[in-house]
Chain A
Amino acid sequence: MTATATIDITVNGEPRGAPEGATLLALLELLELDPRVVVVEHNRTIVRRPSLGTVRIAAGDAIELVHFVGGG
Chain B
Amino acid sequence: MTTAVELVRDTPFTIGGRTFQSRLMVGTGKYRSNDEMARAIEASGAEIVTVAVRRVNLDRTRDESLLHYLDPKRYFLLANTAGCYTAEDAIRYARLAREAGFNEFVKLEVIGDQETLLPDVAGLLEATRVLVQEGFKVLAYTNEDLIVALRLEEAGAAAVMPLASPIGSGLGLLNPFSVRTIKRRLAVPVVVDAGVGTASDACLTMEQGVDGILMNTALAAARDPVAMAHAMRLAVEAGRAAFLAGRMPRREVAMPSSPAEGMLD
A residues with a Cβ closer than 8 A to B are 11-14, 31-34, 37-39, 41, 46, 48-49, 64-72
Contacts and interface: CB of A to CB of B under 8 A. Distances in A.
A58 B97 CA distance: 25
B19 interface: no
Given A68-B51, A72-B215, 4 more contacts: A41-B96, A49-B101, A70-B27, A71-B80
A67 B37 CA distance: 18
13 contacts: A14-B58, A37-B100, A46-B95, A66-B55, A68-B65, A68-B97, A69-B51, A70-B51, A71-B27, A71-B50, A72-B50, A72-B52, A72-B167
Interface residues of B, number: 36
A37 B65 contact: yes
B30 A64 contact: no
Interface in B214-241: 214-217
Nearest to A68: B51
B205 interface: no
Contact of B52 (A14, A34, A41, A69): A69
A71 B82 contact: yes
B99 interface: yes
Nearest to B37: A70
A68 B66 contact: yes
Given A11-B58, A33-B56, A38-B56, A71 B96 contact: no
B29 A72 contact: yes
B5 interface: no
B139 interface: no
B44 interface: no
Q: 10 closest pairs, A vs B, by CB?
A: A71-B52, A72-B27, A72-B216, A70-B28, A68-B51, A70-B29, A12-B55, A39-B99, A65-B56, A71-B29
Interface in B16-36: 27-31, 34
Contacts of B51: 68-71
B192 interface: no
B67 interface: yes
- With most chain B CB atoms within 10 A of its CB, the pick from A11, A67, A69, A72 is A72
B62 interface: yes
Nearest to B66: A68
A68 B56 contact: no
Contacts of A37: 65, 67, 100
A13 B55 contact: yes
B29 A66 contact: no
Given A37-B67, A68-B100, A31 B52 contact: no
